[in-house]
Amino acid sequence: MLKKAIFTIILILGLTALASAHRVNIFCFVEGKKISCEANYPSGDKVKHGTINLKEAETQKTLASKKTDLEGKASFEITQDILARKKDLEAEVLAGMGHRNTWTIPYSDLNAESSEISSKENTGSNTSLPWESNTSTPASATSVDKQELEMLISKIMDKKLHPVLEKLTLLQERKISLPDILAGLGYILGLMGISFYFLAKKNEK
Protein backbone atom coordinates (compact mmCIF):
# COMPACT_ATOMS: atom_id res chain seq x y z
CA MET A 1 0.00 0.00 0.00
CA LEU A 2 2.77 2.38 0.99
CA LYS A 3 4.70 1.60 -2.13
CA LYS A 4 1.57 2.26 -4.14
CA ALA A 5 1.09 5.63 -2.46
CA ILE A 6 4.66 6.72 -3.06
CA PHE A 7 4.49 5.49 -6.64
CA THR A 8 1.27 7.46 -7.23
CA ILE A 9 2.75 10.65 -5.79
CA ILE A 10 5.85 10.31 -7.94
CA LEU A 11 3.66 9.64 -10.97
CA ILE A 12 1.55 12.73 -10.35
CA LEU A 13 4.60 14.90 -9.82
CA GLY A 14 6.10 13.46 -12.98
CA LEU A 15 2.99 14.20 -15.02
CA THR A 16 3.08 17.88 -14.24
CA ALA A 17 5.92 19.50 -16.14
CA LEU A 18 8.86 20.28 -13.92
CA ALA A 19 10.02 23.76 -14.70
CA SER A 20 11.28 26.89 -13.12
CA ALA A 21 8.08 28.88 -12.91
CA HIS A 22 6.35 31.43 -11.44
CA ARG A 23 7.25 34.88 -12.30
CA VAL A 24 6.74 36.69 -15.55
CA ASN A 25 9.57 38.18 -17.61
CA ILE A 26 9.56 40.97 -20.14
CA PHE A 27 12.36 41.89 -22.53
CA CYS A 28 12.37 44.85 -24.93
CA PHE A 29 14.78 46.27 -27.44
CA VAL A 30 14.73 49.10 -29.94
CA GLU A 31 15.14 48.20 -33.58
CA GLY A 32 14.64 50.73 -36.30
CA LYS A 33 11.45 52.62 -35.67
CA LYS A 34 9.90 50.22 -33.25
CA ILE A 35 10.28 48.79 -29.79
CA SER A 36 9.97 45.03 -29.78
CA CYS A 37 8.85 43.37 -26.57
CA GLU A 38 8.64 39.75 -25.61
CA ALA A 39 7.08 38.31 -22.46
CA ASN A 40 7.56 34.82 -21.13
CA TYR A 41 7.66 32.72 -18.01
CA PRO A 42 11.01 31.44 -16.79
CA SER A 43 9.98 27.98 -18.01
CA GLY A 44 10.04 29.34 -21.55
CA ASP A 45 6.26 29.43 -21.98
CA LYS A 46 5.13 32.54 -23.81
CA VAL A 47 2.67 35.01 -22.31
CA LYS A 48 -0.18 34.69 -24.80
CA HIS A 49 -2.71 37.54 -24.99
CA GLY A 50 -1.09 39.33 -22.07
CA THR A 51 -1.12 43.13 -21.98
CA ILE A 52 2.01 45.20 -22.52
CA ASN A 53 1.79 48.86 -21.56
CA LEU A 54 4.39 51.33 -22.78
CA LYS A 55 4.80 53.97 -20.08
CA GLU A 56 6.87 57.01 -19.37
CA ALA A 57 9.18 55.71 -16.63
CA GLU A 58 9.04 58.86 -14.50
CA THR A 59 5.36 59.73 -14.54
CA GLN A 60 4.00 56.20 -15.15
CA LYS A 61 1.73 57.68 -17.81
CA THR A 62 0.64 55.01 -20.29
CA LEU A 63 1.56 56.00 -23.84
CA ALA A 64 0.46 52.86 -25.67
CA SER A 65 -0.97 49.47 -24.85
CA LYS A 66 -0.97 46.22 -26.81
CA LYS A 67 -1.84 42.55 -26.41
CA THR A 68 0.85 39.95 -26.99
CA ASP A 69 0.45 37.45 -29.80
CA LEU A 70 0.73 33.68 -29.47
CA GLU A 71 4.52 34.00 -29.33
CA GLY A 72 4.32 36.44 -26.44
CA LYS A 73 5.50 39.31 -28.64
CA ALA A 74 4.23 42.83 -29.20
CA SER A 75 5.85 45.83 -30.87
CA PHE A 76 5.28 49.55 -30.58
CA GLU A 77 5.98 52.28 -33.13
CA ILE A 78 8.30 55.00 -31.87
CA THR A 79 6.19 58.06 -32.62
CA GLN A 80 7.35 61.68 -32.71
CA ASP A 81 5.31 62.20 -29.54
CA ILE A 82 7.41 59.61 -27.68
CA LEU A 83 10.66 61.12 -28.97
CA ALA A 84 9.58 64.65 -28.10
CA ARG A 85 9.20 63.65 -24.45
CA LYS A 86 12.94 62.87 -24.18
CA LYS A 87 12.23 60.54 -21.27
CA ASP A 88 13.12 56.94 -20.48
CA LEU A 89 10.33 54.51 -21.18
CA GLU A 90 9.13 51.53 -19.23
CA ALA A 91 7.38 48.52 -20.71
CA GLU A 92 5.05 46.79 -18.28
CA VAL A 93 3.65 43.31 -18.81
CA LEU A 94 0.41 42.27 -17.14
CA ALA A 95 -0.05 38.54 -17.52
CA GLY A 96 -3.20 38.24 -15.45
CA MET A 97 -3.79 36.85 -11.96
CA GLY A 98 -1.48 39.40 -10.38
CA HIS A 99 1.55 38.75 -12.59
CA ARG A 100 3.48 41.83 -13.57
CA ASN A 101 6.99 42.85 -14.50
CA THR A 102 8.70 45.81 -16.14
CA TRP A 103 11.61 46.57 -18.47
CA THR A 104 13.20 49.98 -18.79
CA ILE A 105 14.06 51.37 -22.22
CA PRO A 106 16.52 54.28 -21.82
CA TYR A 107 16.02 57.39 -23.93
CA SER A 108 19.54 56.95 -25.32
CA ASP A 109 18.31 53.81 -27.11
CA LEU A 110 15.49 55.75 -28.72
CA ASN A 111 17.83 58.63 -29.46
CA ALA A 112 19.65 56.79 -32.22
CA GLU A 113 16.30 56.51 -33.91
CA SER A 114 15.62 60.23 -33.62
CA SER A 115 18.84 61.10 -35.41
CA GLU A 116 17.81 58.77 -38.20
CA ILE A 117 14.48 60.54 -38.54
CA SER A 118 16.12 63.95 -38.65
CA SER A 119 18.56 62.78 -41.28
CA LYS A 120 15.63 61.45 -43.24
CA GLU A 121 13.97 64.85 -43.04
CA ASN A 122 17.13 66.46 -44.43
CA THR A 123 17.21 64.02 -47.28
CA GLY A 124 13.56 64.70 -47.93
CA SER A 125 14.12 68.44 -48.29
CA ASN A 126 16.96 67.81 -50.67
CA THR A 127 15.12 65.44 -52.92
CA SER A 128 11.99 67.61 -53.03
CA LEU A 129 13.92 70.15 -55.00
CA PRO A 130 15.46 68.19 -57.84
CA TRP A 131 16.50 71.28 -59.84
CA GLU A 132 18.57 72.36 -56.90
CA SER A 133 20.39 69.06 -56.74
CA ASN A 134 21.11 69.43 -60.45
CA THR A 135 22.70 72.78 -59.92
CA SER A 136 24.31 71.96 -56.63
CA THR A 137 28.00 71.46 -56.21
CA PRO A 138 29.44 67.93 -56.32
CA ALA A 139 30.21 68.22 -52.58
CA SER A 140 26.50 68.45 -51.59
CA ALA A 141 25.64 65.64 -53.98
CA THR A 142 28.05 63.36 -52.19
CA SER A 143 26.60 64.40 -48.83
CA VAL A 144 23.14 63.33 -50.04
CA ASP A 145 24.55 60.06 -51.18
CA LYS A 146 26.22 59.69 -47.84
CA GLN A 147 22.97 60.20 -45.98
CA GLU A 148 21.15 57.77 -48.21
CA LEU A 149 23.93 55.29 -47.77
CA GLU A 150 23.83 55.75 -43.99
CA MET A 151 20.10 55.11 -43.94
CA LEU A 152 20.47 52.08 -46.12
CA ILE A 153 23.23 50.66 -43.94
CA SER A 154 21.30 51.29 -40.75
CA LYS A 155 18.25 49.57 -42.27
CA ILE A 156 20.27 46.52 -43.24
CA MET A 157 22.01 46.51 -39.86
CA ASP A 158 18.63 46.58 -38.08
CA LYS A 159 17.50 43.61 -40.07
CA LYS A 160 20.70 41.67 -39.47
CA LEU A 161 20.99 42.60 -35.82
CA HIS A 162 17.40 41.71 -34.92
CA PRO A 163 18.08 38.06 -33.98
CA VAL A 164 21.31 39.04 -32.19
CA LEU A 165 19.55 41.76 -30.18
CA GLU A 166 16.71 39.40 -29.38
CA LYS A 167 19.10 36.72 -28.15
CA LEU A 168 21.21 39.19 -26.16
CA THR A 169 18.12 40.56 -24.46
CA LEU A 170 16.79 37.11 -23.66
CA LEU A 171 20.19 36.15 -22.23
CA GLN A 172 19.64 38.68 -19.44
CA GLU A 173 16.94 36.46 -18.02
CA ARG A 174 17.82 35.24 -14.54
CA LYS A 175 16.95 31.58 -14.40
CA ILE A 176 16.34 29.63 -11.22
CA SER A 177 19.34 27.45 -10.63
CA LEU A 178 20.06 24.50 -8.41
CA PRO A 179 22.17 26.67 -6.06
CA ASP A 180 19.08 28.88 -5.53
CA ILE A 181 17.01 25.87 -4.51
CA LEU A 182 19.74 24.45 -2.29
CA ALA A 183 20.25 27.88 -0.72
CA GLY A 184 16.55 28.02 0.15
CA LEU A 185 16.65 24.59 1.77
CA GLY A 186 19.79 25.61 3.62
CA TYR A 187 18.15 28.75 4.95
CA ILE A 188 15.20 26.71 6.21
CA LEU A 189 17.58 24.36 8.03
CA GLY A 190 19.42 27.34 9.46
CA LEU A 191 16.21 28.94 10.67
CA MET A 192 15.27 25.65 12.30
CA GLY A 193 18.57 25.68 14.17
CA ILE A 194 18.10 29.29 15.26
CA SER A 195 14.59 28.59 16.55
CA PHE A 196 15.87 25.60 18.52
CA TYR A 197 18.59 27.77 20.00
CA PHE A 198 16.14 30.41 21.18
CA LEU A 199 13.68 27.84 22.50
CA ALA A 200 16.48 26.12 24.45
CA LYS A 201 17.54 29.47 25.90
CA LYS A 202 13.96 30.18 26.90
CA ASN A 203 13.69 26.79 28.60
CA GLU A 204 16.91 27.40 30.53
CA LYS A 205 15.46 30.50 32.17
Partner 1 sequence: MHISEGILSFPVLLSGWVYTGGGLFWTLKKLSANDIPKMALLAAVFFVASLIHVPLGPSSVHLLLNGLIGVLLGSLALPTLFISLFLQAILFQFGGITVLGINTLLMSLPAILAGVLFKLKPSSLWGGILSGFAVLGSGVIAALVLSFSGEAFLQVAKLILIAHLPIAIIETIIGYFTLLFIFKTKPELILNNLGSKS
Distance CA 201, CA 101 (A): 44
SS3 assignment, position 146: helix
Of residues 61 and 146, the one with the C-beta less far from partner 1: 61
Of residues 24 and 30, the one with the C-beta less far from partner 1: 24
Please state whether 60 falls in left (phi above 0), alpha (psi between -120 and 50) or beta: left
Of residues 133 and 187, the one with the C-beta less far from partner 1: 187
Closest CA to 103 of 197, 9, 169, 183: 169
Q: How far is CA 17 from CA 12, 21, 38, 89, 174, in A?
A: 10, 10, 23, 36, 20
Binding site residues, partner 1, CB under 8 A: 1-2, 5-6, 8-9, 12-13, 16-24, 41, 43, 45, 47-50, 68, 92, 95-102, 174, 176, 180-181, 183-185, 187-189, 191-192, 195-196, 199-200
Angle of helix 107-127 relative to helix 138-171, nearest 10 degrees? 150
Distance in Å, CB of 84 to partner 1, minimum: 27
Distance in Å, CB of 87 to partner 1, minimum: 19
Of residues 8 and 122, the one with the C-beta less far from partner 1: 8
Distance in Å, CB of 109 to partner 1, minimum: 22
Distance in Å, CB of 72 to partner 1, minimum: 9
SS3 assignment, position 132: helix
Of residues 21 and 152, the one with the C-beta less far from partner 1: 21
Distance in Å, CB of 89 to partner 1, minimum: 16
